[in-house]
Amino acid sequence: MILTVASNKKGVGKSTIATNIAAMRALLNRDVLLLDVTPQKSSYDWAQKRKQAGIEPRMVSASILGKNLRDELPALAGGYTDVVIDTDWRNTEGRQAALELADMVVVPIEPVEGCVDLLRLLVRRIKAARKVNPGLWTLIVIVRAPDALPFVRIDEILTYIAKLPYTTLAGTAIREQLSLQKAFEECLSIFEYKPADERAIAEMRDLYRAQKMRRTVLPSLSRLQRLSY
């Protein structure tokens, strides 16, 4: 499976989501390649520092120029069951290539004013990618969410997503937990971080499970607004 993480906004935790998804797949004994096509190389550096620290399982990672993705991915992906691609938040050739090559794109969205407008711009790119990759499925997840999710903002997101084909909204929200940040800084996934943050673990596990559910039925507001799992 090729899974791309993409957003139209900087600072929504793309790399955190990409590394956690890749790590959980590796922890389940899958052969995973974490591919970073961003200028910052945050995911790649995370994996390299993890390797240097001797943390198991070791994450195989690569950093390439986005414009080379179409040519280099077939050779890089050989032998791996899963490829997780961390993309630039800007509209680049690399991000578009990652959409065209993926089985699924995970889109983190922060529930703030204007978030649907930003999502709409990315959806245009996803629709363009689907012309050459008709099997592409989109999974949207609410991130950096406060404990009390804004009803009006969530309803706006749900209303927009309900009109989109091959798109669903994860029935969980990734809240802005300090443990997620600390885990990333220590080159760990939230599943490995100590002391364990059960709420953050549950949220990320729910997101992982949502990747397997290609459905058009959206979660309810009450499900998204629950404070515990």
**CATH number, domain at 40?**
3.40.50.300
**Is residue 224 in some structural domain?**
no
Could you tell me if residue 221 is inside a domain? no
In a domain, 124, yes or no: yes
Residue 226: inside a domain: no
Asked if the structure places residue 222 within a domain, the reply is: no
3-state secondary structure the chain: CEEEECCCCCCCCHHHHHHHHHHHHHHCCCCEEEEECCCCCHHHHHHHHHHHCCCCCCCEEEECCHHHHHHHHHHHHCCCCEEEEECCCCCCHHHHHHHHHCCEEEEEECCCCCHHHHHHHHHHHHHHHHCCCCCCEEEEEEEEECCCCCHHHHHHHHHHHCCCCCEEEEEEEEECCHHHHHHHHCCCCCCCCCCCCHHHHHHHHHHHHHCCCCCCCCCCHHHHHCCCC
Mean pLDDT, 10 residues at a time, the chain of 229 residues? 93 94 94 95 96 94 90 89 94 93 95 92 96 94 78 83 90 88 96 95 91 62 44
Q: What's the pTM value of the predicted model, to 2 decimals?
A: 0.90
Identify the domain containing residue 198 by its residue range: 2-214
